[in-house]
């Protein structure tokens, strides 16, 4: 019985992991296009500073991707996403 309780607990821990994994964007063409579209479609004047920061992060992400620096690209891509979420 204890073995099943431990297995259920471990399984429960792994079901929480994807929630955090979904928040981290991988540096691929689909995510780059998605973020670029989100930045360009943001028209709220109150978010002007966040938009500028997000555009800057996207530029750095694209440069890093071109240089095959995927970790750096992901970092900048996720920073751009955080800028757009900060309202």
* Nearest Cα to Cα of residue 64 among 83, 77, 81: 77
pLDDT at 66: 95
| Token pair in block for residue 64 | 């890093």
- Tell me the pLDDT tens digit for each residue of 34-48: 888 888 888 888 888
Give tens-digit pLDDT for 52-65: 899 999 999 999 99
Q: What is the pTM of this model?
A: 0.67
In a domain, 69, yes or no: yes
Q: Into how many domains does the chain fold?
A: 1
* Domain enclosing residue 62, as ranges: 25-85
**What's the token pair of residue 19?**
């929630």
Residue 60 lies in a domain: yes
User: Does residue 51 lie in a domain region?
Assistant: yes
Residue 75: pLDDT above 80? yes
Query: How many whole angstroms from its chain centre is CA 44?
Result: 21
Note whether residue 5 is domain-resident.
no
Are the C-beta atoms of 76 and 64 separated by less than 8 Å?
Answer: yes
Please classify residue 35 by burial: count the beta carbons closer than 10 Å to its beta carbon, then call 0-12 exposed, 13-18 middle and 19+ buried: buried
Domain assignment of residue 9, yes or no: no
Is 54 inside any structural domain?
Answer: yes
Q: How confident is the model at residue 13 (pLDDT cuts 50, 70, 90)?
A: very low
15 or 76, greater pLDDT: 76
- Is residue 49 included in any domain, yes or no? yes
Please give the Cα distance from 57 to 80 (Å, whole number): 5
Do the domain assignments include residue 18?
no
């Amino acid at each position: 019985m204890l073995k099943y309780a431990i297995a259920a607990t471990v399984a429960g821990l792994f079901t929480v992991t994807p929630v955090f994994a979904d928040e981290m964007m991988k540096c691929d063409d689909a995510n780059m296009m998605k973020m670029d579209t989100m930045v360009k479609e943001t028209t709220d004047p109150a978010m002007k500073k966040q938009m500028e920061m997000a555009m800057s992060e996207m530029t750095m992400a694209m440069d890093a991707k071109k240089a095959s620096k995927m970790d750096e690209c992901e970092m900048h891509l996720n920073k751009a996403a955080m800028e757009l979420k900060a309202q």
